[in-house]
Amino acid sequence: MNFEPNRAGRFPRNEIISLLEVNRRYNLAESTSQDLTFGELVALAGGLSALENLNLGYGSSAGSPRLRAGIAGLTGVDAQDVITMPGAAHGLFLLGMELCGPGDEAAIASPCFSPSRDALAGTGVTLRECRLAFDDGYRLTAQALAPHLNSRTRLVSLATPQNPSGVRTPLHELQAIAEMVRRLAPQAYLFIDETYREATYGEEPTPESAARLGPNVVTGASVSKAYGAPGLRIGWLTVPDVGLRERLTIAKMNSVISCSPLDETLAAIVIENRDQVLQPRRKLLAGGRDMVKTWVASRSDRLEWVEPDGGALCCLRLRPSVFDREGVRQFWAALPDAELQLGDGAWFGESSSVFRLGFGYLPPERLSAALAALSTVLDKLARP
């Protein structure tokens, strides 16, 4: 057999994969709320005995009726419109596999969660990136997206709130985008990634899902971020178009057969007890966001930021007037010794002078110590 260990694979390598291997003391690279524990989940279920008779046969390819009903309640669609997925990530992967191939085009808003781009790249589709700018607060409009659409477009992909910036696109703008896609790219579906939708701050209301914006709109989300349960690997797609739903259910059958019935049951329990799970995490998110806001204001000599609308993350930029190329390199090189971890803008299709800072994952005392450690790094590196 002829092994070619260095041959490039179907998907581009992205250093975001290191997030799954490295977990430093001051981990500001994570994008989730605080992890839910199995013990908390069992307590929500009413004790382990509630799970004892769970049958561990295969589930169904569309997903468990109980979980699909829970997701329908969150998104406002019929339960039959929902397909469960092993994470929103698998949903966006299958959507790309099913809709895109060589000769087709896909339009994506970037910077973005890297698999949203790289999973599509693996299909051979021609990618057209609508690049959003830090200086414009990463605002996405129908007008900015329009030049990237045409009759060859098969998929338009965006996230709200965005990863890495936490910037939200309001429902009326999403509606305008959905209508524009119908007009300019009639063969395309619009994928709206709502993975951070429920990660709101404190008592702020949860924005309505985009799941009912029309037959060409598919949404995706999961219990990974707002609920702090990425290890369950349970997400979903809402797919009102019957034909596409059938294709995606078959694609799921051919890739994973079904989700794990245990994971689906646990995810259903999370969703059925959503207020209890979300409330403390939203309070922590609000506190984390406020702490970062105050800290950024105190470090405006070195940094600027785009204030997030939702999610457990935000984008900060090393001031170009203070950090030249070499300064940016030194900044990244200094982080490991300070036990710090941040998301590199380059992972998301941004410049490395921008970094993603997650404020939902660390407990408040650790977040405060992490920001102090980051201040020390900034002070050592550059003199304004």
Query: In 3D, which of 266, 273, 14 has the Cα closest to residue 164?
Result: 14
Residue range at the interface with ligand PLP (CB under 6 A); choices 82-90, 239-247, 249-257, 287-295: 82-90
224 interacts with ligand PLP by CB under 6 A: yes
- Please, which residues bridge with residue 107 across strands? 128, 156
Residues 342/357, Cβ–Cβ less than 8 Å? yes
Residues numbered 16 to 75 that lie near ligand PLP (CB under 6 A) are 31
Distance from C-alpha of 312 to C-alpha of 282, rounded to nearest angstrom: 9
Query: In 3D, which of 199, 247, 200, 191 has the Cα closest to residue 220?
Result: 191
Among 28, 45, 74, 89, binds ligand PLP (CB under 6 A): 89
289 CB-side CA count, 13 A: 23
How is residue 329 written in tokens? 């390199």
The residue among 19 and 334 lying less far from ligand PLP, judged by its C-beta, is 19
The residue among 31 and 238 lying less far from ligand PLP, judged by its C-beta, is 31
Report how far apart, in Å, the C-alpha atoms of 252 and of each of 24, 41, 331, 342 are: 35, 27, 42, 33
87 interacts with ligand PLP by CB under 6 A: yes
The residue among 88 and 184 lying less far from ligand PLP, judged by its C-beta, is 88
The residue among 117 and 154 lying less far from ligand PLP, judged by its C-beta, is 117
**Smallest distance, ligand PLP to C-beta of residue 159, A:** 4
**Smallest distance, ligand PLP to C-beta of residue 245, A:** 19
Q: Which residue is nearest to ligand PLP (CB)?
A: 87
The count of residues interacting with ligand PLP (CB under 6 A) is 13
195 interacts with ligand PLP by CB under 6 A: yes
Angle (CA) 23 25 29, round 5°: 55
How is residue 207 written in tokens? 């924005």
- The binding site for ligand PLP (CB under 6 A) comprises 31, 87-89, 113, 159, 163, 193, 195, 222, 224, 230, 235
